[in-house]
Structure 1
């Protein structure tokens, strides 16, 4: 007998707008939290024990918020809005105030990427005012580090990912562009290391596994493209995954490197084994495009969750493949 189709263990309602981005914070303190940000400029901080919004933070002048994250420094939230601002929030002791902001000048949908370089210090990468440029600054000082502009015409920057390699200097940055290209940048040298043409359409999203030096990207078409870095930091295209329906908003790899989730324009979340890209499950609940997916960072593997946020203004939470299942 085939397994019954999975259902959400619960859903969160009341966000009041399309759910563009999700971020878990479950490893510190007693209360596991999920941050969601909407197209109406609201950030909901959901208490996963009570399954209710503990707090609602309004920002970015009501403009759509496209990215949220937390910094290691306690109670510091960072958000990016379509008002061309990145805001740093102090959420300690019941506060919800913007303590600093960065003007990006970008009107696109490219989400920022943040990398902790030392305790209390981060690098922040974001799409700049010019179509193809990526700017990187240090936080909290806001000192400019570099501006990365490709030599060839690749169109608008669509998605970026900062990461720190285990060996050699760093950090490095992966970027997907409007013409379907992926570029790997050396931030320190401000130079392009390699490129690959991963898609015929714009790269809508990418995610990267620094331990395995392997990544995957999606676009508006029916194909996910997987790729890897060799020892010389050359991008090498690997297998493609053909989807039933076109369009992927976001991709996410679980922290243990076993699962990959995709947010589909067809209202579905698809789950694959990350090792061999074996299809494992199709999660059907939402009534509109799924815009975001995130795996929780619980320390206990049995508590791990997958969250999906949709244009239908709901967040679904799922518990899947937590007990050593063969994910392939």
Structure 2
């Protein structure tokens, strides 16, 4: 079965949401259960990401397979083997440009349009090698270091006349433990090399996040020794970086770091049970001892109000960005979870608006069956676009979709 609606078991539990006006405290009689479960992969899921305004979901597994799911129909829109080893990360820079990063030392940018989906395979990885699965058009392929488990971080600069779709910056681990390399696409050149003091034993680079704050880029890294470091670019496109923050809030390796979209803070989680909020203005960090070790894949929703982690205990945990309060525990998977992601939150009032703001005729009684079917499809896509999805990928090869916020 490709996807199915999950029926809740006959038990009861409750959860609380944030005490803010947006998330009033609510007691639920029904248990938290995923809205749908996607069963398309035989190997562990290591990367998930919503793309194309939440209409598509990218899923990457330990065997190098990528499935692009149609969120509205919950069926595969494209399936291909992007890498010959574990997928470390997936994402997109534009509507049609998909990024995949594998442990085969490759970082690839693919070009996939809506029309391309019709010619690509829809046979799921769990079905085995039953058919040929052609790969999409490859725009760029970088040879990068993948001796660790750190995925890429990306930033798309403002479009210019020279780069009408914007210059894409990709940060990846260098060949040395304490080194980060930043590539520029489409020219595939190295524009920066950043490193900590070689005398410091940081261990492997574990996680990266990059964003633009005012007129300069900010890069955050998490290391094996439990430290987090922030660098700031000196001048626009200068290639020179200065360390501006360092913290040792974790006693074990940092598994994930993420800069909040509002650029006020970044958050970290680790192999220990600590979750930390680091303020980008340099004020004291806030920490939460969760009592649950092994939280990774930390992701922040686009409105910067909540963040989530994927747990080795098979559970996702949702927290408030304001005070680190635990808001919900999502338990369904029987094995550990490695990847979690939020859909982009639509603007207020747009939740039920059809994609493309397509109006629906109401006065005509002569609509054809084709027009009616199109309207239904538009409404279904609009619901997928406007739902506050959270997706969770597990070692069991299953992907659960939740709509709890």
Deviation at 1:84, TM superposition (A): 0.9
- The answer for the alignment partner of 2:35 in structure 1 is 9
Is 1:206 aligned to residue 246 of structure 2?
Answer: no
- The answer for the alignment partner of 2:155 in structure 1 is 115
Q: Relative to structure 2, which stretch is displaced further, 270-279 or 62-71?
A: 270-279
Deviation at 1:210, TM superposition (A): 4.3
Deviation at 1:237, TM superposition (A): 4.0
Superposed, 1:155-304 pairs within 5 Å as: 155-165=203-213, 167=214, 169-187=215-233, 188=238, 189-230=240-281, 234=282, 236-297=283-344, 299=346, 300-301=350-351, 303-304=387-388
Report the TM-score when normalising by structure 2.
Answer: 0.73
**Segments of 4+ moved more than 4 angstroms:** none
Is 1:312 aligned to residue 396 of structure 2?
Answer: yes
Cα shift readout 1:90-142 (whole Å, capped 9, x = no counterpart) = 21331613232001123111110110012321111000111211000111111
Greater share of helix: 2
Q: 2:47 aligns with which of 9, 15, 21?
A: 21
CA contact under 8 A between 2:253 and 2:272: conserved in structure 1? Answer: no
Q: Distance in 2 between matches of 1:197 and 1:244?
A: 18
Deviation at 1:181, TM superposition (A): 1.2
Cα shift readout 1:8-30 (whole Å, capped 9, x = no counterpart) = 001100222111011102428xx
CA contact under 8 A between 1:181 and 1:197: conserved in structure 2? Answer: yes
CA contact under 8 A between 1:164 and 1:172: conserved in structure 2? Answer: yes
Higher radius of gyration, 1 or 2: 2
- The answer for the alignment partner of 1:147 in structure 2 is 193
Deviation at 1:156, TM superposition (A): 1.4
Cα shift readout 1:209-263 (whole Å, capped 9, x = no counterpart) = 1425212111111111221121xxx3x4422222232111211111112211111
Report the TM-score when normalising by structure 1.
Answer: 0.90
Q: Distance in 2 between matches of 1:206 and 1:181?
A: 11
Q: How many residues align?
A: 310
Greater share of strand: 1
CA contact under 8 A between 2:42 and 2:396: conserved in structure 1? Answer: no
- The answer for the alignment partner of 2:6 in structure 1 is none
Q: 1:51 aligns with which of 67, 70, 74?
A: 74
Cα shift readout 1:1-48 (whole Å, capped 9, x = no counterpart) = 8423211001100222111011102428xxx11000000110000011
Q: Distance in 2 between matches of 1:163 and 1:203?
A: 19
User: Residues 159, 241 of structure 1: CA spacing in aligned structure 2 closer, same or farther, 3 A cutoff?
Assistant: same
**Unmatched tracts of structure 1, length 5 or more:** 322-328
Q: Distance in 2 between matches of 1:12 and 1:159?
A: 27
Three-state SS of the structure 2 residue aligned to 1:171 is strand
Q: 1:71 aligns with which of 82, 90, 93?
A: 93
**Unmatched tracts of structure 2, length 5 or more:** 1-13, 15-26, 121-135, 160-164, 352-385
Deviation at 1:196, TM superposition (A): 1.2
Q: Distance in 2 between matches of 1:238 and 1:149?
A: 23
Three-state SS of the structure 2 residue aligned to 1:118 is coil
Cα shift readout 1:291-315 (whole Å, capped 9, x = no counterpart) = 0110002524551100000111001
Q: Distance in 2 between matches of 1:240 and 1:26?
A: 34
User: Residues 137, 77 of structure 1: CA spacing in aligned structure 2 closer, same or farther, 3 A cutoff?
Assistant: same
Q: Distance in 2 between matches of 1:298 and 1:56?
A: 26
